[in-house]
Amino acid sequence: MGFFAQHGSFSEGTGRKFSVAESGVYICALIDIEAVQGKSFDDPTVLEPNYKFVFESVEVGDEDGQPFRFVQFTKTVYGNEKAKITILLDSMLGKRLDRNEYANLDINALKAQKWQVVVGTRQKMNGEYTNMIETVKPVKQTATKPLRKAVPAQVDDITDPFDAE
């Protein structure tokens, strides 16, 4: 396997631009988690590792029928309560992970679930609007109520005086 196959990925390069969604709650699928490079907060000329979480809406889309896409970038160090990755994974999983749970976290299991993503909008410096992920939680499956057996009507031994025989 070549260097690029081991450390990179290949894209067909559709260049599709996704529509900006209205602020609200969307049911989404986690379609990808990528290891990417991002600018350091301390020195924008230095690149450091980041994760890119990519969610797509599954129930609603834009006027062309395309899903909305929401992206969350995080650093790669989990554990600090103020770190975006800690906040994101804790809300997705409903608990704080220990070292072993984090190391063994199954990305495919995360991708297999549906997620309730709360999205806001903001205006960038260039005037464009973009979406930002506020929270991500698992979609709660509503328990279906079991069917109750029909209660048979009580039959008593009283004759109906209006029954015409």
Residue type, 48: E
> What confidence tens digit (pLDDT) does each residue in 110-151 have?
999 999 999 999 888 888 888 899 999 999 876 555 555 455
Burial class (CB in 10 A: 0-12, 13-18, 19+), 43: exposed
For 103, how many CA atoms within 13 A lie in the half-sphere containing its CB?
3
> What confidence tens digit (pLDDT) does each residue in 14-68 have?
555 778 888 899 999 999 999 999 888 888 888 999 999 999 999 888 888 889 9
